[in-house]
Structure 1
Amino acid sequence: MNGTETGNVLAHLTPELLAAVGGALVFLLALAAIVLVRRMSDRSGRAVRERLDALAMALPDAQPVDIVRRESMSEVPLLNRALERTRWARNVGELIRQGRAPGNPGMYILLSLLIGVCALYVSLVLSAGPLFLLLGLGAAFAPFAWLKRRKAKRMARFQEQLPDALDLVARAMKAGNTFSGGLRMVADEFEDPIGEEFRTTMDEINFGVAVEQAMLNLLARVDCDDLKFFVVSVNVQRETGGNLAEIIGGIAGLVRERFKLLGRVRVLSAEGRISAYILIALPFIVTGVLYLLNPEYMTTLFTTEVGKRLIQGALGSMLLGSLIIRRMIRIKV
């Protein structure tokens, strides 16, 4: 089949594809509108919040506590039942909880589908190449990338606070406080995220959860490798005995030394990161300068078929090169 016949086939298929994609886009927009309307008209949830606020006002000295458990995957019942059966939807919910992001998994999944359908529709309308189509569909994963970045920032902050928090627990136990008392001090003295997570652990212990299980729940909520040493040491010590204060103090020193090593690694890999930034930005800078100096010379690159293919190949090579460089300079400590 030659190029003319291929173009004729695509010309016949494009209206049907556009109609199908347009219908899917309208469906997703309608579903998103339903979710927003249901969220805005949540009378039962609003009534519960108003009653809790009234109780809090009746007790001026009491700290407001949200006791409403929200674990739904979506505001749409049908979508909620479908997402509850899938593991990847639960993984998205875990990202939302660990990153303290707003919304629920259904909202981010619908947003991702909407971005993907819009990218497909625009690519078909503009008759763009396959690389632009792949880039547009890759943008559909932007909501999940934002969730991962938010989680990573929160977990990094938790890891920074962990040595000081462990030192506080060790000093509190040496001063005669119990282990739970040391956890309470951390919950009261530290900000989010470590203060919030330890406060949740203390609430579980106060409501009757065993200390070992509460610590395991803390480990499940927080994605931090250094926290595993602390949780395992506490659970083992409660079964075998030993000086828990000295153990916790040693773990705090170990975490600090690990941070120092990580800092040295980042300094040594800084040259590779800067080189990656320069290599990625240089083609765009050169293209912009050449376009300002000689627009007609650069216009050929964007208007001819060969020029478009060269642009697609360059973008694909840059993407592959950036991934390789990122893999080379990413060193786990």
Structure 2
Amino acid sequence: MELHTLVTLTTGGTLLTCVLAVAGVHTYAAGRAQRAELVERLSYAGQVSVTGRRRRFRNLDRRLRGTRPGRRLELRLAATGLDVTPGEFFVYMLTTVVALWLIGQAALAPFFGPIAGLLGIWAAWQFLNWQRQKRIERFINQLPELARILANATQAGLALRTAIGMAADELEAPAGEELAKVADQLSLGLSMDDALGELAARLPSRELVVLVTTLILSNRAGGQVVSALRNLTETLEERKETRREIRTQLSQVTMTSYAVPVLGVGALFLMNGVKDGALDRMTGSPVGQACVVIAFVLYAVGFVLIRRMSRIDV
């Protein structure tokens, strides 16, 4: 009798464990499906972008977002304001690299194929940096107007959160878009310090850091926000004019930095055009290949040095 009772209890316990295991697996699978659906909605906002363009390479994009380089690329793309996902940018960059590889190999010599591919990767990242810097410059030019709107709103008795939402509605892109993100984060419960800190991280500049620091300190201490913003508006206007003058005076130096590597690449085409097959013979030996690599390195060093020497931080 005792043995029969023990077998019954053991069988019942085993069956209960199996039922609980199946229920747990079902709950886990349902949770993962819900999480994937939520991530899908937040990441893509459906299958269509904000501008109405249908997303491409969604599976690749999902895998890239799961990696650390993919997340860094996503943040960089967000700072540029481009309506491109990490997966789309990766495919476009890979296509450009392959095309430049084939063009360099066919037009010059087989040795220049990998070099042209590396130049394609460098050009893609330079394009992102250029777009990001252009967006930052546009945002900096809007900062005086932003500070003026916030000062007027706070002087009228509105809270800083409400003033930020008002500025997001009145200002054009990129300031309007970035402030809309801050307003959305504040509505979801994010603190003022964290929301403004993320804004300064997306579009790093001294002017924005000063504005963010002023808003954070005034929000914490409850100080005179209006007077601080009024003074900051005048300072930002002066810095805006100073930056415009410096950029105008250094425009020739900037063009020179880009002309140096272009002249080097043009010399290669000229050599190959004057005497067909000259680059094949030149890169056919290790000495010639080493000379070509050293020349490209020197052109890159010259480009970086000219850019660094002409950079003036205001």
Secondary structure of the structure 2 residue equivalent to 1:331: coil
Deviates more, 1:272-281 or 1:84-93: 272-281
User: Is the contact made by 2:101 and 2:116 (CA closer than 8 Å) also made in structure 1?
Assistant: no
Secondary structure of the structure 1 residue equivalent to 2:58: coil
- Provide the TM-score with structure 2 as the length reference: 0.65
User: Match of 2:166?
Assistant: 185
User: Is the contact made by 2:80 and 2:128 (CA closer than 8 Å) also made in structure 1?
Assistant: yes
Structure 1 letter corresponding to 2:94: L
User: Is the contact made by 1:101 and 1:147 (CA closer than 8 Å) also made in structure 2?
Assistant: no
Question: What does 1:233-312 correspond to in 2, within 5 Å?
Answer: 233-273=214-254, 276=257, 300-304=274-278
Supply the distance in 2 between the matched residues of 1:304 and 1:73 (Cα, whole angstroms): 43
Supply the distance in 2 between the matched residues of 1:298 and 1:208 (Cα, whole angstroms): 63
Match 2:154 to one of 156, 173, 195 = 173
**Does residue 197 of structure 1 match 2:171?**
no
Match 2:97 to one of 107, 116, 119 = 116
Secondary structure of the structure 1 residue equivalent to 2:172: coil
**Residues 25-58 of structure 1: CA distance to partner in whole angstroms, max 9, x if unpaired?**
xxxxxxxxxxxxxxxxxxx946xx7xxxxxxxxx
**Does residue 158 of structure 1 match 2:139?**
yes
What is the CA-CA distance between 1:198 and the residue it aligns to?
1.4
What is the CA-CA distance between 1:127 and the residue it aligns to?
7.6
Question: What does 1:17-166 correspond to in 2, within 5 Å?
Answer: 45=46, 75-76=58-59, 80-81=62-63, 83-121=64-102, 128=109, 130-131=111-112, 133-166=114-147
User: Is the contact made by 1:73 and 1:84 (CA closer than 8 Å) also made in structure 2?
Assistant: no
Q: 1:268 to 1:231 in 2, by over 3 A?
A: same
Q: Which blocks of at least 5 consecutive residues in structure 1 are unaligned?
A: 1-43, 50-65, 67-71, 292-296
Supply the distance in 2 between the matched residues of 1:124 and 1:91 (Cα, whole angstroms): 32
Supply the distance in 1 between the matched residues of 2:228 and 2:300 (Cα, whole angstroms): 46
Match 1:229 to one of 210, 213, 219 = 210
Supply the distance in 2 between the matched residues of 1:192 and 1:170 (Cα, whole angstroms): 20
RMSD: 3.9
Structure 2 letter corresponding to 1:139: G
What is the CA-CA distance between 1:283 and the residue it aligns to?
8.0
What is the CA-CA distance between 1:188 and the residue it aligns to?
1.9
Structure 1 letter corresponding to 2:278: T
Q: 1:86 to 1:207 in 2, by over 3 A?
A: closer
Secondary structure of the structure 2 residue equivalent to 1:155: helix
